[in-house]
Copies of this chain bind each other. A is one copy, B any other.
Amino acid sequence: MQFDNLLRERRSVHQYSDEPISESTLGEIFEAATLAPSGYNLQPWEFLALRDDEKKATLREIAYGQDHVEEADTAIVVLGHTDPMTHAETVFDDWLAKDYLPNEEVRDALVENVSEMSEMSASDRRTWTTRSTALAAMTIMYAARDRGVASCPMEGFDADALVDSFDIPGEYEPVMLITLGYPEAEASDIENERKARRPVEEIVHYDEFDPSDETVLAPADD
């Protein structure tokens, strides 16, 4: 689909049909995610994709009972590794092999930089992994919609219960949940007027940062 249409047609949908997503379609959606950019191409993302009914029921409880977690074909737990070093050496070997770097010394200096990043505070490391992992998450939602699959990103869940229930090691940050499924016919989240957005004039500041104290919303253009 043309990106401009995709952008305007993507909505956060909570009402899903029973139509299953094929394994190949899911695979394509995740393959799209791999092409997202990330800081130093370090790709800290991991995706726990729940399709089993019992697992989705567990996640629904963790997500404060939100029905669409269970009704979705697939509920994705988007995770980010909080240690920048995890994939660094292999990634910079690839840069060197492809002439992004002039020589091994530069490669080693980059590994050293990332090694210093690993010493960041816990707060900085959470922010670091959330930044890149969210870029992949947005890509998943566009790639899904491009195949007729609706999505809903969610940040309302009990992170401690999530980590306990699904045996997620401490070095991973639960970044968000995304439910995926074909939308129900006449899903209200698609039929209703789109939620309003803060307009460009309010959010973009040319050359000087002068944010407004007022909140202005404009009809979303769809």
Write the residues of chain A forming the contact surface with B, with a CB cutoff of 8 angstroms.
1-4, 6-8, 10, 12, 27, 30-37, 39, 41, 43, 45-52, 55, 77, 79, 86-87, 89-91, 94-95, 98-100, 122-123, 126-128, 130-132, 134-135, 137-139, 141-143, 146, 153, 155-156, 166-169, 172-173, 175-176, 188, 192-193, 195-200, 203-209, 211, 215-217, 220-222
Question: Do residues B203 and A46 form an inter-chain contact, with CB atoms below 8 A?
Answer: yes
How many copies of this protein are present in the complex?
2
Prevailing SS type, chain A contact patch: mixed
| A198 CB contacts on chain B under 8 angstroms | 34, 43, 87
- Asked if B131 and A36 make an inter-chain contact with CB atoms under 8 angstroms apart, the answer reads no
Q: In the complex the two chains form, is B90's CB within 8 Å of A215's CB?
A: yes
In the assembled complex, the Cα of A49 lies from the Cα of B201 at a distance in Å of 12
Q: Chain B contacts of A50 at CB under 8 A?
A: 207
A166 touches B122 (CB 8 A): no
